[in-house]
Structure 1
Amino acid sequence: MSEMNEWVKWIDEAIAKKHIKHYEYKYFKHIQEIGTGGFGKVYRAKWKNSYQYFALKSLLNIEEDAIKELVHEIELQREVTFHNNVISFHGVTISDQENQSNNIKKYLLVMEYADGGSLSKYLKENFEKLTWEVKLNLAYQLASAVSCLHDEDIIHRDLHSNNVLVNQNTIKLADFGLSKRIEASTKKKKDLFGIVPYMDPKKFSNRSYSLNKKSDVYSVGVLLWEISNGKPPFYVEGESYDCSLAFQIVQGHRETTVPDTPIEYVKLYTECWDDNPDNRPSIQEVVERLDGIINQKTENIDEKTDQSFTNKNIVLNSIEESSHGELSQVIQEFNKMNTKEIMGTMTSTSNQIISQNILPENDLSVIVNNITEFILEVLNNKRNNDKLRQKVIDYFNNQNINPQEIYNWLFNNQNYNSNSIFLLGFFNLYGIETSENKMMAFDLFINASEQDHTLAQYFVGFCYYCGRGTSQNYPLAFKYYEKVANKDCAIGQLYTGSCYSNGHGINKEPKLAIYWYEKAANNGNVLGMSNLGYCYKIGEGVEKDIDKAIYWYKKSAEQGYERAQKYLEELMKTK
């Protein structure tokens, strides 16, 4: 009991010295059990009156070894929580339901909540719509997370598809309860057997064999196969894994290759699950080879397709291609700019002198309002190719603003007005001073949109259109775009025209597409101008008129839209 008290004292001191954030248990709401494992139970809970959900991870029993494992979990999580593909550790809470038998506090870890559940569940529910581009990205993210652990000399030892989580289509490695530092292994070792198909066969044939980094690589190889198949290895409904399967695996039995799997991918996971650990690649080599497979795959993708796949840390939902050649390119370019490359220039209203010191609430609310106006003008005008996220960050840097201070104010004052609600959603959507949380962003946009906030309504439409934080729903996307369009807002007019042009969420009506493109163009939107040029060029929704096509392409190009310049040059050659 004395050693156990030392572990408890360690936790309490870490909280007191603010090395670990403490969350008051009474402020968690709607606590719901979502899982049970060997370590303990996991709950989903809402924090205070915000839209922030956390996962609360508890111990199944309050014993010395359990408390010790809790401390190990905290230490390890703090060392790797910076990685985008490792579940984030936020702090600790203490349940108000104490264990009466020994009067020991009931600690729970406060963790990032993964809305997609386990990788096994995610694959079961989404596999039919996953492209190979998405599968390769999942594999890359998984290997990158394990590589992060190995760089910190941490071995997971129990990798399988139920403790690999998915949040907003992004891999999140979890459950470090069985992990140990290589140089700090305890004297009291346990022979942990794990889940048979993912376990290093050496452990089956030699109980004294110490699991190591190459054992993790074996598990990664099995998981790579599972990503290619959509089901757990050797899965038979209604049956559990047993010793006979372990014996077969020791004898060299492995799962069969899934048809149409890239040959280099097959070679990689086959090498990972080799019987001889010395023949297995390092996890860093796995990462590098997956990167090579992804790049090779990308080179074979036509330039007209969505290139968001090349971002290996975030798997973006693909946007359905238009059936119109050049106009499809324009619309796809627009969709990509909305997620990563939204263009903008600094407005005079946002160029106010702001101190780097902590600002009073009134000043902070003014800054929030100015940023919101800036974002709206950027979206409406689209004057250059700078990324919107980066422009906001540059704004902070140029004005000596501490973005963390802004985020903290937004988080604590999200009900201050509709601008603060919207901007908190924006920060969560783009991962500014917080991890990307598209589900929370969507909830905040919905809240602000109910207060008739124009930008929030646009972003609700965007989330429905692209499936960010919610299921893709073209009719609802059109509904919100039209609301924004009817406010004489160029970004809503452009997207409403796009929906009419492609028949997304509404019947295809080329003449109505022209109507809204003209409104967007007359409001200064460069993509509306370019789209009009294309429509006049081919006579879609309007009588064919090359001179008008040249006029609108030229006007768009003069405003800085490079694609319009390219289309203009091509059109002039054929005139």
Structure 2
Amino acid sequence: MTELLHPYWDFIDNSNEWINWIEDTIEKKHIKYYDYKNFDNNIQVIGSGDFGKVYRANWKSSHHYLTLKSFFKFDNFTLKEIINELKLQREVDFHENIIRFCGIMTGENQNDNSKKYLLVMEYADSGTLRNYLSERFENLTWNDKLNLAFQLAHAVLCLHDEGIVHRDLSDIYSIGILLWEISSGRPPFKNDPHDVCLAIRIVQGLREEPIPNTPKDYIEIYTENHFIITNELVGLLDNVYLEIKKHKILNYFNSCNVTLQEFYNWLLSNQEDSNLVVLLGIFNHLGIETEVDEQNVFKLYKKAADLGNTSGINSLGVCYQYGIGTICDKKKAVKLYQKAADLGNSTSICNLGYCYQYGIGTNMDKERAFITFQKAANLGNACGIYNLGHCYRYGIGIIKNYPKSVVLYQNAADLGDALAQYFLAMIYERGEEDIIDIDTYHIDLIYGRVTVKDIDIDKAIYWYEKCKNVLCKELNMLIIN
């Protein structure tokens, strides 16, 4: 089985070589092969994810079930994902709370009669944690809940010890939130739309209330972990930044006498300059005058990075952080951010601070995050200034200082940072006090229970208007009539 970790697998680019590697590994019996004919016909779909569907299958007319994991799109990228999954499973297969990898099954692709591969996994007969809680919660004692939390903690600790970051913890926001879900039996913010508005309110401090009779020590554990934002929330906020970036590009071309199609065609035929390579990557990333093509995005950013372009190095880091056109590798993303940061790229410095703040690809270090955001801010990076303001406002790596945070939000807003404009608008709407819950605030305002100073509705409207075109529709509803 040691051949499973052969170092050459990272460098195979041809899909035939990937297939040959899998076939060779099966032939040498390093991986168990399962014949499709040995499963009963009663195969049931039990789930679906980003890459494909998950089935439950009965093995050899017995009561022994296995899970079959299929893939929507079977290409070179998918083959890399299969190899990566095998590698990760090899690292953690010993742990009882992590679903085990059993082997591989092959079948025919109905579209082109080519061979397709399915992963055969251990079947968890109780389904997902969420299903388990919804079906059994009323009968669970606190000992049962603590046992679930204990299993979760040990599984995550095992992943972290092996340097693996779990990418798919359902649609929850953190380990802390998952612990809260175990205590409550329901998903967090169940009745709220999971949009950018909710994301921002959580960043501001919105929390679910502890369930009555929850042990005090348990509450302390999950509240300490509560602010670790995972992919769904981060993705929402990153989508906002992508829309902002696209909006700025479109506005720029609207002010020029050049059509986007004309410029894009010129860009395609002028790829000698590394800056133009990055720009073509951005167009492909944002879907400007072309369909979004993540694998091409990765190739273009890598080409620019290989030429020493700091924006290309930073963008390549983004690809590795979010799995854009390549396998997700957050540690590699941090290394690339550091490389570009050392070359003076302020955006990479800001991204590095973000990784330190949330423990993405590195250990969480809020003091280091503050220092890193400060470096980006000193270089005039609007995002760095905005994040530095957040550090002062919420005490991230530094003592809270609300007045200083407002000054920094103002500076970032003046430089065009839409999220800084949004926070500045909220501050002018509400005044000096740090009120977190928007709905509660408006109720208190109606009944005269708010005693804050320096509310400036005109400035609030001004900044809401500045940011509303590039933020989501939900934010527009906050503009005061």
The TM-score, its normalising length taken from structure 1, stands at 0.45
> Which of the numbers 111, 124, 129 marks the counterpart of 1:220?
124
Cα pair 1:441 1:469 within 8 Å, conserved = yes
**Could you tell me how far 1:485 is from its partner in structure 2?**
1.5
**Could you tell me how far 1:257 is from its partner in structure 2?**
10
Looking at structure 2, the residues matched to 490 and 496 of structure 1 have their Cα atoms a distance apart, in angstroms, of 10
Looking at structure 2, the residues matched to 499 and 456 of structure 1 have their Cα atoms a distance apart, in angstroms, of 18
Q: Give 3-state SS (helix, strand or coil) of 2:240's partner.
A: coil
State the partner residue of 2:286.
393
Q: Give 3-state SS (helix, strand or coil) of 1:434's partner.
A: coil
With over 3 angstroms needed to count, the CA separation of the structure-2 counterparts of 1:45 and 1:498, relative to structure 1, is: farther
> Which of the numbers 155, 161, 175 marks the counterpart of 2:99?
161
Q: Give 3-state SS (helix, strand or coil) of 2:144's partner.
A: coil
Query: What do residues 396-439 of structure 1 show as CA deviations (whole Å, max 9, x unaligned)?
Result: xx157966444324335533121221121222334333343333
With over 3 angstroms needed to count, the CA separation of the structure-2 counterparts of 1:442 and 1:502, relative to structure 1, is: same
Query: What do residues 146-184 of structure 1 show as CA deviations (whole Å, max 9, x unaligned)?
Result: xxxxxxxxxxxxxx7343xxxxxxxxxxx525x4669xx
Looking at structure 1, the residues matched to 30 and 90 of structure 2 have their Cα atoms a distance apart, in angstroms, of 23
State the partner residue of 1:467.
359
Cα pair 2:316 2:336 within 8 Å, conserved = yes
State the partner residue of 1:354.
264
**Could you tell me how far 1:462 is from its partner in structure 2?**
1.9
Q: 1:305-344 residue pairs with structure 2 within 5 A?
A: 322=205, 337-342=236-241, 343-344=243-244
With over 3 angstroms needed to count, the CA separation of the structure-2 counterparts of 1:121 and 1:360, relative to structure 1, is: farther
State the partner residue of 1:42.
5
With over 3 angstroms needed to count, the CA separation of the structure-2 counterparts of 1:503 and 1:453, relative to structure 1, is: same
> Which of the numbers 288, 305, 311 marks the counterpart of 1:414?
305
Looking at structure 2, the residues matched to 392 and 180 of structure 1 have their Cα atoms a distance apart, in angstroms, of 33
| Pair 1:502 & 2:394 matched | yes
State the partner residue of 1:557.
465
Cα pair 1:553 1:565 within 8 Å, conserved = no
Q: Give 3-state SS (helix, strand or coil) of 1:341's partner.
A: helix
**Could you tell me how far 1:467 is from its partner in structure 2?**
3.0
Q: 1:45-124 residue pairs with structure 2 within 5 A?
A: 66-67=27-28, 80=70, 88-90=78-80, 111=84, 118=91
Query: What do residues 244-273 of structure 1 show as CA deviations (whole Å, max 9, x unaligned)?
Result: xxxxxxxxxxxx99623999xxxxxxxxxx
The aligned length equals 338
With over 3 angstroms needed to count, the CA separation of the structure-2 counterparts of 1:494 and 1:500, relative to structure 1, is: same
With over 3 angstroms needed to count, the CA separation of the structure-2 counterparts of 1:466 and 1:69, relative to structure 1, is: closer
Cα pair 1:550 1:568 within 8 Å, conserved = no
Q: 1:98-497 residue pairs with structure 2 within 5 A?
A: 111=84, 118=91, 161-163=99-101, 176=103, 179=105, 219-221=123-125, 259-260=144-145, 297-298=186-187, 300-301=189-190, 303=192, 322=205, 337-342=236-241, 343-344=243-244, 345-347=247-249, 348=252, 351=260, 353-355=263-265, 359=269, 361-362=271-272, 365-369=275-279, 392-395=285-288, 398-399=289-290, 404-412=295-303, 414-416=305-307, 417-497=309-389
Mark the runs of 5 or more structure 2 residues left unpaired by the alignment: 12-17, 37-50, 53-68, 109-117, 134-140, 149-169, 171-180, 209-228, 254-258, 435-450
Looking at structure 2, the residues matched to 538 and 122 of structure 1 have their Cα atoms a distance apart, in angstroms, of 52
Looking at structure 2, the residues matched to 534 and 446 of structure 1 have their Cα atoms a distance apart, in angstroms, of 34
Looking at structure 2, the residues matched to 461 and 123 of structure 1 have their Cα atoms a distance apart, in angstroms, of 35
Looking at structure 1, the residues matched to 132 and 360 of structure 2 have their Cα atoms a distance apart, in angstroms, of 24
Looking at structure 2, the residues matched to 221 and 477 of structure 1 have their Cα atoms a distance apart, in angstroms, of 42
Cα pair 1:534 1:549 within 8 Å, conserved = no
Cα pair 1:88 1:111 within 8 Å, conserved = no
Cα pair 2:310 2:343 within 8 Å, conserved = yes
With over 3 angstroms needed to count, the CA separation of the structure-2 counterparts of 1:528 and 1:365, relative to structure 1, is: closer
Letter in 2 for 1:176: G
Looking at structure 2, the residues matched to 526 and 357 of structure 1 have their Cα atoms a distance apart, in angstroms, of 28
Looking at structure 2, the residues matched to 552 and 224 of structure 1 have their Cα atoms a distance apart, in angstroms, of 44
Cα pair 1:228 1:258 within 8 Å, conserved = no
With over 3 angstroms needed to count, the CA separation of the structure-2 counterparts of 1:119 and 1:549, relative to structure 1, is: farther
Looking at structure 1, the residues matched to 315 and 462 of structure 2 have their Cα atoms a distance apart, in angstroms, of 35
Q: Give 3-state SS (helix, strand or coil) of 2:287's partner.
A: helix
The TM-score, its normalising length taken from structure 2, stands at 0.53
**Could you tell me how far 1:442 is from its partner in structure 2?**
2.4
**Could you tell me how far 1:228 is from its partner in structure 2?**
8.4
Query: What do residues 288-326 of structure 1 show as CA deviations (whole Å, max 9, x unaligned)?
Result: xxxxx99x944754649x769x9xxxxx9x97652799x
**Could you tell me how far 1:224 is from its partner in structure 2?**
5.5
Looking at structure 2, the residues matched to 565 and 550 of structure 1 have their Cα atoms a distance apart, in angstroms, of 16
Single out whichever of 460-469 and 543-552 deviates more from structure 2. Answer: 543-552
Cα pair 2:285 2:297 within 8 Å, conserved = no
With over 3 angstroms needed to count, the CA separation of the structure-2 counterparts of 1:42 and 1:335, relative to structure 1, is: closer
Cα pair 2:103 2:121 within 8 Å, conserved = no
Cα pair 1:478 1:499 within 8 Å, conserved = yes
Q: Give 3-state SS (helix, strand or coil) of 1:504's partner.
A: coil
State the partner residue of 1:538.
431
Looking at structure 2, the residues matched to 411 and 162 of structure 1 have their Cα atoms a distance apart, in angstroms, of 34
**Could you tell me how far 1:496 is from its partner in structure 2?**
0.8
> What is the root-mean-square deviation of aligned Cα atoms in Å?
5.7
Cα pair 1:493 1:520 within 8 Å, conserved = yes
Mark the runs of 5 or more structure 1 residues left unpaired by the alignment: 1-35, 49-54, 92-108, 125-159, 164-174, 183-212, 230-255, 264-286, 288-292, 311-315, 326-330, 375-390
**Could you tell me how far 1:497 is from its partner in structure 2?**
0.7
Cα pair 2:280 2:300 within 8 Å, conserved = no
Q: Give 3-state SS (helix, strand or coil) of 1:354's partner.
A: helix
Q: Which runs of 4+ in 1 moved over 6 A?
A: 68-71, 120-124, 331-334
Query: What do residues 379-412 of structure 1 show as CA deviations (whole Å, max 9, x unaligned)?
Result: xxxxxxxxxxxx83312xx157966444324335
Looking at structure 2, the residues matched to 551 and 67 of structure 1 have their Cα atoms a distance apart, in angstroms, of 70
**Could you tell me how far 1:341 is from its partner in structure 2?**
3.1
Query: What do residues 62-83 of structure 1 show as CA deviations (whole Å, max 9, x unaligned)?
Result: 99x844777969x9x9994557
**Could you tell me how far 1:493 is from its partner in structure 2?**
1.3
Looking at structure 1, the residues matched to 233 and 462 of structure 2 have their Cα atoms a distance apart, in angstroms, of 18
Query: What do residues 53-111 of structure 1 show as CA deviations (whole Å, max 9, x unaligned)?
Result: xx9x999xx99x844777969x9x99945579xx95339xxxxxxxxxxxxxxxxx964
Letter in 2 for 1:481: F
Cα pair 1:354 1:401 within 8 Å, conserved = no
Looking at structure 1, the residues matched to 88 and 277 of structure 2 have their Cα atoms a distance apart, in angstroms, of 32
Q: Give 3-state SS (helix, strand or coil) of 2:456's partner.
A: helix
Single out whichever of 509-518 and 353-362 deviates more from structure 2. Answer: 353-362
Query: What do residues 194-220 of structure 1 show as CA deviations (whole Å, max 9, x unaligned)?
Result: xxxxxxxxxxxxxxxxxxx9xx89832
